[in-house]
Amino acid sequence: MCEVRGSGEGNRVVKTDDYSNSRKRAKVKSVSTVAPTITVSIVEDDAPARGIMQEWIRSAPGFQCVGAHSSVEAALEKLPAEKPAVVLMDINLPGLSGIEGVRQLKPKLPHTQFVMLTVYEDSDHIFSALMAGASGYLLKQTPREELFAALLDVHAGGSPMTSNIARKVVLAFQRMGTQRSEAGELSPREREVLELLARGYLYKDIADSLHLSVPTVSTYIRRVYEKLHVRSRAQAVAKFTQIPGAAVTD
C-alpha cells in the first residue's frame, strides 16, 4: 500500500507497508535492549523486615519479588518452583539455619545466587556461608541503595560483601597464610613433638613415645616455641589447632 505525504512539489510517495514494518522492527529492537528483570526471593523470619524488603524490590524498576518465606523449611518447598535469580537469606532462622538452607538449596538451584543477610560479622559464619554456596554476605543494616547495588553485582557474577565483612575475609586469609608459613617451618620431628604436646603428653611421655631423651624433647619444644612465636604450652597448642591439616587425636 502507498500513501502520499506532504503537499505541492514536495509531495513524496511512501510505501506504508515498509513504514509499518520499520516501526515494528524499531519497537522489537528497543524491547530487546531492555535489561532483563532480576527475580528475587526472600527468606527472613522477621515479618516487618521481610515486608520492607518485599516493598523495596516490588517498587524498584528491573526487579521482581517472586517469593517471601519465614523459614528454610518453607523455602525448601517453594524456591525450586520460584527459580529466583537471587535469594536474600537470613542466617539466624527458626529451625534450619540459613547456612544449612543454602547448603541444601544450592544443588537444586545451581544458577541461583544466594546473598546472606545477617547481624553476624565473625569469620566462622562468613566462611561457613561461603563454603555452603553463598555468593555474597551483607549486614542487615545495609542501606537500600547498597542492597540493590549488591543484587546487581551478584547477578552479574560478583560477590558483594559489606566493606567491614570484606576486610575480615582478607584478614582471615592473611592469618591462614601466616599459619601455613609457620607450619611449613616446622620439621617433621618438631610436628610430632607438637602433636603429642597438644594431646597432653608430658616431656617424659613424649621422650618415651619417640624414643628420645628428655633434654632432646626440651630442645625440640624450645624450637617449636621460637618458630610459632609463642611462649607457653597453651599458646603452642592453640597455634597447632589452627594449622591446616592438624588434628588432635586420642
Average pLDDT over residues 164-187: 60
Hey, where are the domains in the chain? 38-169, 186-242
Segment among 74-78, 175-179, 216-220, 232-236 with least mean pLDDT:
175-179
Hey, what's the cell of 60? 524498584
Q: Comparing C-alpha atoms, which of 3, 125, 98 is closest to residue 41?
A: 98
Hey, what's the cell of 243? 594449622
Q: Over 80: is that where the pLDDT of 156 sits? A: yes
- Most confident residue range from 125-134, 173-182, 237-246: 125-134
Signed CA dihedral, 7, 13, 17, 20: sign only:
negative
* Fold match between domain 38-169 and domain 186-242: no
Residue 40 three-state SS = strand
- 8 A C-beta contact, residue 129 and residue 116: yes
Per-residue pLDDT band at 247 (split at 50, 70, 90): very low
pLDDT digits (tens, 9 = 90+) for 179-235: 554 455 788 898 888 888 887 788 898 999 999 999 899 899 888 888 887 777 777
Domain spanning 38-169, CATH class? alpha beta
Segment among 91-105, 130-144, 168-182, 195-209 with least mean pLDDT:
168-182
CA distance 172 to 128: 13
pLDDT digits (tens, 9 = 90+) for 87-96: 999 999 999 9
Q: How far is CA 69 from the centre of its chain?
A: 20
Average pLDDT, the chain: 79
CA distance 29 to 182: 60
CA distance 172 to 246: 18
- Phi and psi of 13, rounded to 5°? -100, 125
CATH topology of domain 186-242: Arc Repressor Mutant, subunit A (1.10.10)
More confident residue, 64 or 4: 64
Q: Distances in Å between the alpha carbon of 227 and those of 62, 99, 178, 230? A: 56, 37, 12, 8
pLDDT at 65: 97
Q: Which residues pair with 87 in a beta bridge?
A: 41, 114
Q: Over 80: is that where the pLDDT of 70 sits? A: yes
Q: Over 60: is that where the pLDDT of 29 sits? A: no
